[in-house]
Amino acid sequence: MTEVIIVRDEDEAGGIYARCVGDLIARRPDCVLGLATGSSPLAAYRALAALVRERGLDVSRVRGFALDEYVGLDPGHPQSYRSTIDRTVVRPLGLDPALVHVPDGDPAGVRDAGRRYDEAIGRAGGVDVQILGVGTDGHIGFNEPGSSLGSGTRLKTLAERTRIDNARFFDGDVDRVPTHCITQGIGTILRARHLVLLAFGEGKAEAVAESVEGGVSSFCPASALQLHPHATVIVDEAAASRLRNRDYYRYAYAHKPAWQGI
């Protein structure tokens, strides 16, 4: 079963993620983190950066792979996912930038970039913990509805809904949001050893309910989490509001032995 944890707010969710990843770094200083951009993981990255400082963790060998990148946006553009990951993860945590990878969104190499990226993840030994957000249409990474559940990293066309949702990062101008991206596939994401999906706010309630309690379908890419042996979904009350089984999720988490972690 996908574990669902209902929290008060993003900070509580961030603390849960930070403890999980902090323990992983302490156990395995060269672990591999799967990284997402967008709003959902920001509190989690802040909590992890604080915990790294507090516990004096050595992060010099931690490796990272981002989920996706816009195609045709200069890597130095403030909204490129390369820049976003540098700003929100690499610098606050003090990671070695050479060990943190983002798919190559250069249109010239895009035909081959996906295969090369999946090979690089494979050579690193796979992702240990993959953090995920979910789109209002149920996308994970930039796998829009209809994406193959077995897909590898590849070029995708962004849905109009996603471009509208992301216009807020481009001064509200949807025409400036690129039309294409390169994204880890659903098959790639499912190979990570632990998936942690974060979702907050009423706007995500339907996508969360579809993903966790709906049928597994390429029309809701996040429903692929149901196929994963170790998936954790952390949501606030608003995002949990359409889950039919939410009393059970609360009960199960309240009675979970602390040693199990997430």
Ranges of H-type helices in the chain: 10-27, 42-55, 81-85, 91-93, 110-123, 160-166, 186-190, 205-213, 237-240, 246-254
CB of 101 to ligand F6R, least distance (A): 13
CB of 29 to ligand F6R, least distance (A): 25
Tokens describing residue 189: 């994401």
CB of 14 to ligand F6R, least distance (A): 13
Nearer to ligand F6R, 50 or 167 (CB): 167
CB of 27 to ligand F6R, least distance (A): 26
Tokens describing residue 80: 């490129």
Count Cβ atoms within 10 A of the Cβ of residue 85 and give its class: 0-12 exposed, 13-18 middle, 19 or more buried: buried
Alpha carbon distance, N-terminus to C-terminus of the chain: 13
Report 135-164 residues binding ligand F6R (CB under 6 A).
135, 139-142
Identify the residue whose tokens are 């199960």.
Answer: 252
CB of 135 to ligand F6R, least distance (A): 4
**Residue 237 to residue 166: CA distance in whole angstroms:** 23
Single residue of 13, 33, 67, 225 touching ligand F6R by CB under 6 A? 67
**236 lines the binding site for ligand F6R (CB under 6 A):** no
**105 lines the binding site for ligand F6R (CB under 6 A):** no
- What residues form DSSP beta bridges with 232? 3, 196
Report 10-39 residues binding ligand F6R (CB under 6 A).
36-39
Q: Compose the 37-66 pattern: x for residues touching ligand F6R by CB under 6 A, - for all others.
A: xxxx--------------------------
Taking a C-beta distance cutoff of 8 angstroms, is the pair 110, 192 a contact? no
* Residues annotated as part of the active site: 68, 137, 139, 144
φ and ψ at 33, to 5 degrees?
-100, 135
CB of 38 to ligand F6R, least distance (A): 3
Count of residues of this chain found to bind ligand F6R when the rule CB under 6 A is applied: 14
Q: Compose the 120-139 pattern: x for residues touching ligand F6R by CB under 6 A, - for all others.
A: -------------xxx---x
**88 lines the binding site for ligand F6R (CB under 6 A):** no
- Residue number of the CB closest to ligand F6R reads 133
Report 168-197 residues binding ligand F6R (CB under 6 A).
none
**Residue 168 to residue 160: CA distance in whole angstroms:** 14
Nearer to ligand F6R, 31 or 198 (CB): 198
The residue type found at 185 is: G
Residue 108 CB contacts under 8 Å (≥ 6 apart), including other chains: none
Nearer to ligand F6R, 42 or 252 (CB): 42
Nearer to ligand F6R, 57 or 211 (CB): 211
- How many alpha carbons lie under 13 Å from residue 62 in its C-beta half-sphere? 26
Taking a C-beta distance cutoff of 8 angstroms, is the pair 203, 130 a contact? no
Positions in the binding site for ligand F6R (CB under 6 A) = 36-40, 67-68, 133-135, 139-142
